[in-house]
Chain A
Amino acid sequence: MNPLASIIMSSTLISGTLITLISSHWLMAWMGLEMNMFAIIPMIMKNNSPRAIEAAMKYFLIQASASMLLLMAASLNFMYSGQWTLTEMNVSMASLIMLIAMLMKLGMAPFHFWVPEVTQGTVLLTSLIILTWQKLAPLAILFQITPSINVNIILTTAILSILIGGWGGLNQTQLRKIMAYSSIAHMGWMAAVMIYNPTLMLLNLLLYLIFTFSAFTILIKCSSTSTSMLTMTWNSYPLMVSILLIILLSMGGLPPLTGFVPKWLIIYELIKNTNIAMTLTMSILALLNLFFYLRLIYASSLTLFPTSSNLKFKWKINTPNKMYFLPTMVSISLLFLPVSPMILMLS
């Protein structure tokens, strides 16, 4: 893409999310979301294959429908309550429609069908942006309307998302689709705790962003988009596969790593609100996620898959120059568990 056009798209993308985050009027929130959406469409279509064009069209249709639902909900709220403030969503029907709009934007079940296909249809960097940056604005809106969210709908969606995120990712070998299903499941965990303690949703979001960003950075550096390509990275970047092990185990929520903190605190918060059956279901379904992360770890670092012998001996190992804060994020993914008492105090 022309550098000028690329700068304009990126700046519109960033400013769109920022406008939604700082807005107090529904119209500005909508404008920020629209700017976000239409700035990322040419980024999805950059390599111009039919796959990418189809992914861009699917993304556009879903996000445009969700924006229309957002406008309708905001107008309904204005019609019955006379004000446009983002935090005062008092009309229950409007709040319901707004919740559905945001669930569509986030890609949570039952509106999750576009996430694997759009993530797979484009390059790794753009799918990283779709799975991380694009989640910020809808989650910010949901954070601000939490008092009026319909509890049944959001808890149903959360359970369905965790189920579908875990179960759908089991049969995948393409790494972008695996990350997409992982994103669906993490959104489910965030939605489950949102009505009880929104700060924990923010904590989960922050840690999810760190894990996803680290995982994608490794995948981008190793240029691997499928499991079979991941099996050959031990040869070129041996340290990266060890780091990938840490990040994936952390995403799965295993205890001494940081990924355990959000799951633990969410389970604690749900149990404090006597929501025990759902908590049990969520914890069991998180194991499905852990299984396909373990399969990736098995393929990349724990075992050596059969290769030709001239692949086994590399005399020069290049370390990549730009690491995009990977060491910082890996340290956070590995070592942040002892900080959890401070996080409990903050929430």
Chain B
Amino acid sequence: MGYGRSDSYRVATTTEKDEKESPKKADTKAEKKIKDMDDLKKEVPLTEHKMSVEEVCQKYSTDIVQGLTNAKAAEYLARDGPNALTPPPTTPEWVKFCRQLFGGFSILLWTGAILCFLAYAIQAATEDEPAGDNLYLGIVLSAVVIITGCFSYFQEAKSSKIMESFKNMVPQQALVIREGEKMQINAEEVVAGDLVEVKGGDRIPADLRIVSSHGCKVDNSSLTGESEPQTRSPDCTHDNPLETRNVAFFSTNCVEGTARGIVVCTGDRTVMGRIATLTSGLESGKTPIAKEIEHFIHLITGVAVFLGITFFILAVCLGYTWLEAVIFLIGIIVANVPEGLLATVTVCLTLTAKRMARKNCLVKNLEAVETLGSTSTICSDKTGTLTQNRMTVAHMWFDNQIHEADTTEDQSGASFDKSSETWLALARVAALCNRAQFKAAQDQLPILKRDVAGDASESALLKCIELSCGSVKQMREKNKKVAEIPFNSTNKYQLSVHETENEEDNRYLLVMKGAPERILDRCSTILIQGKEQPMDEEMKDAFQNAYMELGGLGERVLGFCHLLMPEDQYPKGFAFDCDDVNFTTENLCFVGLMSMIDPPRAAVPDAVGKCRSAGIKVIMVTGDHPITAKAIAKGVGIISEGNETVEDIASRLNIPVSQVNPRDAKACVIHGTDLKDLSQEQMDDILRNHTEIVFARTSPQQKLIIVEGCQRQVRHTQTDGAIVAVTGDGVNDSPALKKADIGVAMGISGSDVSKQAADMILLDDNFASIVTGVEEGRLIFDNLKKSIAYTLTSNIPEITPFLFFILVNIPLPLGTITILCIDLGTDMVPAISLAYEAAESDIMKRQPRNPTRDKLVNERLISIAYGQIGMIQALGGFFSYFVILAENGFLPSLLVGIRLNWDDRSNNDLEDSYGQQWTYEQRKIVEYTCHTAFFVSIVVVQWADVIICKTRRNSVFQQGMRNKILIFGLFEETALAAFLSYTPGMDVALRMYPLKPSWWFCAFPYSFLIFVYDEIRKLILRRNPGGWVEKETYY
């Protein structure tokens, strides 16, 4: 797999070269056959942003004023198809069903069933009255697979139904200009070359090259991860199409303003479409648990075939005919198939999936339940996952002091001193010089949850003021706005003039906010403790320091100032002219700074800490700027306290970056543009040598490369790659989500594409829920081991009777029906109950499991289950068998070699050890009573087995018996055994007979022996960590 991947990159780079040689041709022709995956992995091939508007018009033969002609539009529509994303090819329902029927474990059971039918066919062909056992067994096996298949199919169908509900079906409209007329059309009918108008609140209908714009801002967060809206203007500002200002992307949102643009790409050819296609084209590998089950099947098959062949040879040596030997062979192989295990595993996984769903982790694929448990690296997106995805005022600087605002989601954080006069002035400026406002009819909602019309930073200010100073609306009503200059990129400030609150006071209040350095330039005084003081050099230094400090935290800083305009120059009714500014905008009074950031979620730092103690590396991958990314990473503990990046060390030691040994820095922040130039080896080197990594400014394609890099990482010098989880919400994350071993999408803020690509969905968008997932995943892995150990153990007392029947010719001690009663009856509840077992030790304190070394089922587990406990169980079963036969007169010495006479229908006067004569029917009743007794004995020894399987290392006395489901299982198992034995009519239906009370107790000593034996084993294991016992028996 690894080779294939690196190859694909090589191919990708060569095609890139080809394209550079003939860029013109590539534009139109290559776009059509772009489906090629390698092509898709490259960066976006847009070039229109570098062309002039005229060139773009020419290219699409459109007109900047009139738009396309209707005929042309129809032609393009026919050529390019509708402007919509091709939905990913959905697997038909019957294929999904078949996958459940024939996937993984089911194969083993199907093989068993086919072998059974084969054996029956052989018997039917050779014998006059073939025993129906093999036929029944085959039918039961098939039934088990089909029922379990249906169960897991419906289970998954349920989760996918929840998925369906996420889809929003609202048809999009677009305003296009064709033949000079504005018309509202369905967004699907938009074609390349169309002139489109968008306004605040619209969704961009296709990739647009902006030709004119009025204060247009778009929210690109679903594409790049930047939480701040970006301004759009007709000028090309960057070579990278994703960064330039003159392109607006399909399915992003226009937040405010209006813009007009020419459609350059539609449907799947858009940037968003390419990502979606890339995502659906990626193949995700097998889940770790599927690999484990495969390994388990190999082991089980190995044991079965070994036993089968051995006894086949033995049978031939003992003088059986070839056909008989073949039937024995098949019988032994089939007897090794644990019939109940498929159902047990499925139910255990389903239970965990349900438990996780209750804790807000919705698992789409049952097998993915365990994957988080073995995860060793989590690549997390920043926006919306680690952070709240809303700008919030984090710090303020006034009275020459930095104040910290409360950024927590529930306003539980500390508050700052609000008594200062300066703060009131600052709040007034921030409230008045602000165009954001709450949308109507939200009074009952808490302030932080209310919807705001306006850009992100202004809403942040609005909410901050509303929270600390009460209604902004009232404040604005008291201070009526007289004039306003909106923000623009040349001025870098926003200004408004208001009446004062005091009706007596006829002065006007000028308030201004903007880039701090610009604001400072216009100020001559500064407000300290409510008093105006002249702005001296000392104050300017203090301002610079505060500005630098807040900027260094990755926050967006705004400066605020105001001025009460002198009444003599600006009397009441003065006509303020905002276009031709006829009033002073100099010599203002500086009030303070406010800085905003998208703050981390409250639960994230704790969750990151837990991941770290669980040995999981958390990597941040974001489209946002490095400084912001680093600040958030430090805030949530992805870069832990005291760890420095290369740049930090350089600035601390005052030496150039190149002189720092990269090995000294545990943390590192990597810029997307640097990432582009890294070779695979360099990439591996970074991932290996730094424990705390932040990738910033990454494109979706790079996210994919990062995930693949992480998957390549080898842990503990093993050959298998690491298991990587990726979290993300945006469309830009979806290729990485799909590629990861487990993709985790966000349920609330996540885009549909990302949810489709993910294996798991966090319904509350909270990174902390991942920790729950990890915990549950690890727990179910341990508990599955226990469950499997329990189920496999009873295989030995089920096979040995048949082996002895062949070898020493005794009457059959245990029949097929009774075996099925154990596997599909009494063993089920206890095996499932082990899924409810609590963890033995703190599973979040240990390293993630090593996929090559820590197997679900290993040789040690088989050796314990088959070789040790299973053997004792078989002894117990045989003991009751011999007791019953002896009580009826057949002493063990007589039994050896009696089989042919015993099973002979015509022999109706077989003599026992005391000379009593037995008819065939009488003999059979005794035999079936033995079957029942053997069955009951297995139930009795399985009591002890389920208790010892509760723990792998601890004593039962340490673990306790708090698992009530398990106790319930013990009761039910026994009750079922009693029912089967005593219910009238069972002798006809299942050939089970009532047992004398004393026969129940035959296996008790063996049950006790099992318990003591395993307790001693575990005691030695605990006493000598790393000793022989641990190496050989700790599964």
Tell me, yes or no, whether A binds B: no
Question: B residues within 8 Å of A by Cβ?
Answer: none
Question: A residues within 8 Å of B by Cβ?
Answer: none
